[in-house]
Amino acid sequence: MTAAAPEPKANMGQPVPRYDAAAKVTGRATYASDMPLDNPAYAFLVTSAIAKGRIDGFDLDDARGVRGVIDIVTHENAPKLKESKLFSNGGYAGTTIQPLKSADIAHDGEIIAVVIAESYEAAREAANRVKVSYTAVAPSASFDSPGTTTAAAKGQNSQFKEDPEVGDFAKAFDQAEVKLTASYDTPTQHHNPMELFTTSCAWMGDNLVIYEGSQYVYGLKNGVAEQLGIDADKVRVVNPYVGGGFGSRGSMTPRTAIIAGIAKRLNRPIKLVPTRDQGFTIATYRAETRHEIRLGAGRDGKLAALRHEGSEVSSRPDAYCVGGTKTTTRLYACPNVSSLVSIVRADRNTPGFMRSPPEVPYLFALESAMDELAVKLNMDPVELRRINDTTVEPIGGKPYTSRSLMACFDEAAKAFGWSQRSPQPKSMSDGDWLVGYGCAATCYPTQMAPSAARVRLQRDGRTRVEIAGHEIGTGAYTVIAQTASERLGVPLEKVAVFVGDSDLPPAPVAGGSNSTASTCSAVMMVCDQIRQRLFKAVMPGDSLADKAKETVGISQTPSTQAAKSDRPLDLDKAFDALGVGVVEEYGEWKPEGAPLDSFAAMHSGHARLVGGHSMKYKIAYAFGAEFVEVRVDRFTHEIRAPRLVGAFAAGRIMNPRTARSQLMGGLIWGMSSALLEATEIDERNARYVNDNLADYLVPVNADVPGVEVILLSEQDDHINPAGVKGLGELANVGTNAAICNAIYHATGQRIRKLPVRLENIEV
Amino acid sequence: MSEKPGSGRSGFDRRAFIAGAAGSALVPMTARAATQDASVSAAQDPALPVDVTLRVNGKDKRLHIDARTTVLDALREHLKLTGSKKGCDHGQCGACTVLIDDRRVVSCLTLALAAEGQEITTIEGLATDDHLHPMQQAFVDNDAFQCGYCTPGQIMSAVACVKEGHAGSEADIREYMSGNICRCAAYPNIVAAVKQAAPEIMKG
């Protein structure tokens, strides 16, 4: 076993290499903009240079004069599109700002024209020659700008139903022996997946094919159909590989229906490859947030009072918020809790999900505050978490289905060498480096959504699994193939998996870390339907059939317990008895507690996620603990994070290889959110300044010397049939707090605003 | 930036040099374009397509393309070699990395015209028959990717990194692989892959 393929522990699958590995290392994996098109025309976007106001007019003569230009589409001649509601209000869209609809401008970088030409080069040149005259109005950029409006999230965002509270916070805080009040800020961030926000649209008569990287092909298919006013069955979204999502491709952006409409009008396939900087404004992002935390505790460290106020920026028309208080008010035992989330509206594009949307900013606040409280108590921060650990969440009194938080702390602390830490700030150094150790908890809700699947088994054991899931780098192909292989008892190399196509049976959005739990539970169920059919064929009327299907293998593969049973099923005999060449089954699975309309919603592109804190009698989360070593140069103030160690427990680990890789990437994301990433905003113009990969800092290889991921065994029979807790968004939570806690330990300076740059250090 | 006449510097005239260089570069383009469209010369309309022959993965490919076409767009849009990826089009991310005469180059910042007569190797040209190149195999073994979009560029860069002699230590590999961004952050696995493949590449 290599580091990349850890030895499986109890309740873990095999660390088999990725199903799509060969395709990805040879360049054969085809992403959306790699799809061949028949004589495409090329689109290039023109985006607004003002954030608020009106377009007075275009001068297009120069642009039209460019050789090869076919058409220039503005609000004056754009295809008429129907509105789509925000995804959280029953629609599909990530924004209700619809470009090219009128002369009004709602945010900087809004699409204001689309140039179509015979070549990419001509489209780009003509786009640069489009002249626009505006009447600009001073925009509101962010929290401190004049002209914003602020209101409580509750009541305006249908997915934010309550500000969690319990007991009497005010009284308990007032009486607490030890008190902490502190404010924390997190910055604007952009996902910047490596694949650009490309869209290709091709019509065949009335049927539309869309090649676009999407985390929800059913949502996009139905959303575009709604905007075009056509039957959703006539729209197909195809993306067998997606070049990174991180939330940016979870909801529909306006570009897709615009390109589809233009392709229809020109009767020609259109290929759009937006630029990297356009990606900052034509899709979503993580909005900046502000927090105030109040903690009251006894001298023994027991929390008596907790209040978390969060404030988030959104666009003028859309009340998007992440509302992470649903998690931070339930993480620790505390009898008196209150909270409030507010939304501040500014002249910005609408924000959206970005990897662990609520937990990254909200746990930064809470886990920083816990460290500050530990300092006030003169207590080890790990012990403070242990004292306040709980198996029951305090708001509704519901039990956690499983919770390995302290086991994670203990494993990670051991691997990290936490016992070597001298608790006093500025007490550890190495030459010019001030050395600090810090830690934080992480958690992420376990979520599931209805999913369908189709599985076909041939008599030679070859198996085909079809499900409109999404391969965004998570290992979807691999874990689905492993699930079918194990459940049917056929060799892994005989399983073919098809995802990323809205003509396949519906799967939910690849968001909220629900994919593995949902798709694998559906595939397991459908494989069981196949087993049942085969057994009924050879044991007609036999009441033993039901029992047998659970205990009897159906092939000679020795890899599963079922196959090793003393009553292997003779596949040939079963197929002869059925009188067929293939057995194919389709099935629809839904999680316990899913609403009644779940399956209908699933087919129309609405994923009804259940889980986390929203279940009736229980609460389900995955947990982890992260330890970091930070080094701050006492003269230059250069900050480095040479060691990141995380231990995680997330129910059944389908594949320790793909799980470790996701958690490793998550830890690096967490480091990045503390030390590197921020979209800088020009306050005067409400404009993103560093909208490229040289100035928007993401980690490169040299930033990441040491990362260690520890997978803990955990079994949870109360979540879903696969026993899986999603972990794709677990590891990048809390890391930002752990790093600031380590910086405090290294330097004695508490930093409450991210990202931390060397100019923020005042040693 | 212009030099002052008689400023005491050498007689080298920068403006004249640039004009001369551009002029000489335009000569073959003019000649080619003239055969396509006799009525307009390329000097008058630089947007006219030109003929370019690129040598890609050991084969000559004749193209009739816009003179501004980059190697990346020539590969992707005209030769259907879509393994090389566009991640920024600004030379900032490395997803488009190919080898030109064995040097790693960001193909988005290289004009196809400028690569004429040179040997271009892309991710599609790395494997032989059914055998993965040792670097490709090392990427599989070490799970050195997730979404896979940056992977062709990482692998091309990694092959060059080894041949440049920059794979002697993990610190070296990290430094010399830092021109290729992996947003999934598979970096530790990429370092492990380069370490694994380096001896085999240097041997063979």
> Given an 8 Å threshold on Cβ–Cβ distance, is A194 in contact with B183?
yes
The residues facing A433 across adjacent strands are A430, A633
Q: How does pLDDT run across A274-297, given as a tens digit for each residue?
A: 999 999 999 999 999 999 999 999
State the catalytic residue, choosing from A550, A677, A729, A759: A729
Structure tokens at A232: 């959703």
Residue A554 has pLDDT above 60, yes or no: no
The residues facing A710 across adjacent strands are A647
Amino acid at A255: R
Boundary of a domain, candidates A230, A247, A282: A282
Partners of residue B181 in chain A, C-beta under 8 Å: 194, 693, 698, 700
Residue A760 has pLDDT above 50, yes or no: yes
Q: A8 in a domain, yes or no?
A: no
Partners of residue A194 in chain B, C-beta under 8 Å: 85, 87, 93, 95, 147, 149-150, 181-183
Partners of residue B90 in chain A, C-beta under 8 Å: 276, 692-694
Structure tokens at A686: 């409400």
Q: A128 in contact with B at a CB cutoff of 8 Å?
A: no
- A456, A442: one domain: no
pTM (2 d.p.): 0.94
* Rounded distance between C-alpha atoms, residue A609 and residue A128, angstroms: 44
Paired sense of beta strands A463-466 and A495-498, if any: parallel
Partners of residue A196 in chain B, C-beta under 8 Å: 86-87
- A205, A77: one domain: yes
Q: Could you give phi then psi for residue A565, rounded to 5 degrees?
A: -60, 160
Q: Which domain holds residue A467?
A: 449-609
- For chains A and B, CB pairs below 8 A equal 198
Q: A500 in a domain, yes or no?
A: yes
Q: A306 in a domain, yes or no?
A: no
Q: How does pLDDT run across A685-698, given as a tens digit for each residue?
A: 999 999 999 999 99
> Given an 8 Å threshold on Cβ–Cβ distance, is A119 in contact with B66?
yes
Partners of residue B81 in chain A, C-beta under 8 Å: 27
- A723, A685: one domain: yes
* Rounded distance between C-alpha atoms, residue A752 and residue A739, angstroms: 11
Q: A589 in a domain, yes or no?
A: yes
Q: What is the mean pLDDT of residues A318-333?
A: 98
- A660, A623: one domain: yes
Question: Among A349, A362, A353, which residue's Cα sits nearest to residue A141?
Answer: A349
Active site residue A729: yes
**Strand, helix or coil for residue A420:** helix
- A666, A529: one domain: no
Which pLDDT value is given to residue A570?
79
Which pLDDT value is given to residue B128?
85
Please report the DSSP string for A359-391 in residue order: HHHHHHHHHHHHHHHHHHHT--HHHHHHHT--S
* Rounded distance between C-alpha atoms, residue A608 and residue A594, angstroms: 7
* Rounded distance between C-alpha atoms, residue B151 and residue B161, angstroms: 15
Contact between A415 and A710 under an 8 Å Cβ cutoff? The reply is yes
Boundary of a domain, candidates A282, A306, A340: A282
pLDDT band at B20 (very low <50, low <70, confident <90, very high): very low
Paired sense of beta strands A235-238 and A303-314, if any: unpaired
Question: Among A623, A705, A629, which residue's Cα sits nearest to residue B172?
Answer: A705
Is the sign of the CA dihedral A159, A161, A163, A165 positive or negative? negative
Which pLDDT value is given to residue B19?
41
A242 → chain B, closest CA residue: B147
Q: What is the mean pLDDT of residues B41-51?
A: 72
Return the number of other C-beta atoms located less than 10 Å from residue A349's C-beta.
Answer: 27
Is the sign of the CA dihedral A365, A366, A367, A373 positive or negative? positive
> Given an 8 Å threshold on Cβ–Cβ distance, is A661 in contact with B186?
yes
Q: A279 in contact with B at a CB cutoff of 8 Å?
A: no
Which CATH number covers residue A521? Answer: 3.30.365.10
User: Tell me, what DSSP letter sits at residue A140?
Assistant: P
Q: Diameter of chain B by CA atoms?
A: 65
- A551, A581: one domain: yes
Q: What is the mean pLDDT of residues A229-256?
A: 98
Residue A354 CA, distance from chain mean position: 6
Measured CA distances, B42 to B16, B19, B48, B69 (Å): 21, 16, 6, 15
- A435, A455: one domain: no
Nearest to A668 among B86, B123, B187 (CB): B187
Contact between A350 and A319 under an 8 Å Cβ cutoff? The reply is no
Q: What is the 3-state secondary structure (H, E, C) of A688-712?
A: ECCCCCCCCCCCCHHHCCEEEEEEC
Boundary of a domain, candidates A582, A609, A636: A609
User: Tell me, what DSSP letter sits at residue A249?
Assistant: T
Which pLDDT value is given to residue A541?
62
Tokens 């399983």 -> residue:
A495
**Strand, helix or coil for residue A286:** strand
Return the number of other C-beta atoms located less than 10 Å from residue B99's C-beta.
Answer: 22
Q: What is the 3-state secondary structure (H, E, C) of A514-525?
A: CHHHHHHHHHHH
- A629, A683: one domain: yes
* Rounded distance between C-alpha atoms, residue A363 and residue A326, angstroms: 11
Q: Which of A250-259, A530-539, A598-607, B7-16 has the lowest mean pLDDT?
A: B7-16
* Rounded distance between C-alpha atoms, residue B195 and residue A404, angstroms: 35
- A544, A579: one domain: yes
Tokens 């400028």 -> residue:
B114
> Given an 8 Å threshold on Cβ–Cβ distance, is A658 in contact with B143?
yes
* Rounded distance between C-alpha atoms, residue A726 and residue A393, angstroms: 20
Paired sense of beta strands A706-711 and A639-649, if any: parallel
Q: A302 in a domain, yes or no?
A: no
Q: A-contacting residues of B 143-162, CB under 8 Å?
A: 143-152, 155
**Beta strand ranges found along A450-572 (DSSP E):** 451-458, 463-466, 495-498
Q: A22 in a domain, yes or no?
A: no
Is the sign of the CA dihedral B73, B76, B81, B84 positive or negative? positive
Q: A79 in a domain, yes or no?
A: yes
* Rounded distance between C-alpha atoms, residue B162 and residue B142, angstroms: 17
* Rounded distance between C-alpha atoms, residue B96 and residue B91, angstroms: 8
Q: How does pLDDT run across A9-50, given as a tens digit for each residue?
A: 999 999 999 999 999 999 999 999 999 999 999 999 999 999
Question: Among A283, A291, A402, which residue's Cα sits nearest to residue A342?
Answer: A291
- A427, A454: one domain: no
Amino acid at B193: A
Q: B138 in contact with A at a CB cutoff of 8 Å?
A: no
Partners of residue B48 in chain A, C-beta under 8 Å: 67
Which CATH number covers residue A81? Answer: 3.90.1170.50
Q: A-contacting residues of B 9-68, CB under 8 Å?
A: 45, 47-48, 65-66, 68
ipTM: 0.96
Amino acid at B192: A
Measured CA distances, B180 to A448, A703, B56, B153, B157 (Å): 35, 12, 22, 7, 8
A696 → chain B, closest CA residue: B92
Nearest to B188 among A473, A700, A707 (CB): A707
Q: Which of A30-34, B28-32, B40-44 has the lowest mean pLDDT?
A: B28-32
Question: Among A83, A75, A82, A79, which residue's Cα sits nearest to residue A113?
Answer: A75
Residue B38 has pLDDT above 90, yes or no: no
Which letter, b or e, does each residue of A223-242 get, where b requires 16 or more Cβ atoms within 10 Å of its Cβ?
bbbbbbebebebbbbbbbbb
A244 → chain B, closest CA residue: B147
**Beta strand ranges found along A240-356 (DSSP E):** 270-272, 289-297, 303-314, 337-345
Please report the DSSP string for A65-85 in residue order: TSTTEEEEE-TTTPPP-----
Residue A731 has pLDDT above 60, yes or no: yes
**Strand, helix or coil for residue A509:** coil
Opening angle at CA A673, ends A671 and A677, nearest 5: 120
Instruction: Count how many domains chain A has.
Output: 3
> Given an 8 Å threshold on Cβ–Cβ distance, is B155 in contact with A25?
yes
Q: B194 in contact with A at a CB cutoff of 8 Å?
A: no
Q: How does pLDDT run across B146-162, given as a tens digit for each residue?
A: 999 999 999 999 999 99
Q: A146 in a domain, yes or no?
A: no
* Rounded distance between C-alpha atoms, residue A329 and residue A338, angstroms: 8
CA atoms within 13 A on the CB side of A712: 26
Which pLDDT value is given to residue B33?
38
Which pLDDT value is given to residue A538?
83
- A604, A657: one domain: no
Residue A335 CA, distance from chain mean position: 32
pLDDT band at A572 (very low <50, low <70, confident <90, very high): confident
- A454, A603: one domain: yes
Min Cα separation A663/chain B (Å): 10
Return the number of other C-beta atoms located less than 10 Å from residue A573's C-beta.
Answer: 13
pLDDT band at A540 (very low <50, low <70, confident <90, very high): low
Contact between A520 and A449 under an 8 Å Cβ cutoff? The reply is no
Which pLDDT value is given to residue A542?
55
Residue A92 CA, distance from chain mean position: 17
Contact between A267 and A250 under an 8 Å Cβ cutoff? The reply is no
* Rounded distance between C-alpha atoms, residue A154 and residue A340, angstroms: 9
Is the sign of the CA dihedral A4, A10, A13, A16 positive or negative? positive
Return the number of other C-beta atoms located less than 10 Å from residue A417's C-beta.
Answer: 13
Q: How does pLDDT run across A138-171, given as a tens digit for each residue?
A: 999 999 999 999 999 999 998 999 999 999 999 9
